[in-house]
Amino acid sequence: MSTSGTTLFNLPFNEIAEECYERCGVEMRTGYQLRTARRSMNLLTIEWANRGINLWTIEQGEIPLVTGQVSYIIPDDTIDLLDHVIRQNEGTNNQQDINITRISETMYSTIPNKLAQGRPIQCG
């Protein structure tokens, strides 16, 4: 099954509020109800932001590894890298993802030979 690739879906706030009221079995009739709906929505999004990572802000990406390259540049709009894996045999039936452990700057400083080559198991 193919997809269109289109992700543009943007309801105006008043339609979102109307839909919420209708799902509760109530009809939105006054401007006050719309104002309280907006306030509730603002408080809800603040609560979500305070809880931590918002799933709609996460993007999957990839950085091809190059033998002998010690550091990599990440995109300017990237705040943090959450999970790290090395994908081996990509595009085949025996594809494997190997997890990479994140280490602290202090732990990185204790690695005696930072130029040693091999399959990465840690990143900092």
pLDDT in tens, 65-101: 888 888 888 888 888 888 889 888 877 788 888 899 9
pLDDT level of residue 110 (50, 70, 90 thresholds): very high
Distance of alpha carbon 122 from alpha carbon 124, whole angstroms: 7
Q: How confident is the model at residue 40 (pLDDT cuts 50, 70, 90)?
A: very high
Distance CA 80, CA 14 (A): 34
**pTM of the complete model beyond 0.85:** no
Q: Is the dihedral of CA 113, 86, 63, 118 positive or negative?
A: positive
Distance CA 68, CA 115 (A): 8
Q: Which pLDDT value is given to residue 24?
A: 92
Residue 11 tokens read as 């309801």
Say what the pLDDT of residue 124 is: 77
**Low-confidence winner among 26-35, 68-77, 102-111 (lowest mean pLDDT):** 68-77
For position 1, what pLDDT does the model report?
A: 64
Sheet strands (E) in the chain: 85-88, 96-99, 101-102, 122-123
Query: What residue spans define the domains of the chain?
Result: 13-56, 59-124
Of all residues in the chain, the percent with pLDDT exceeding 90 is 23
DSSP string of 89-108, one letter each residue: STTSTT-EEEE-EE--HHHH
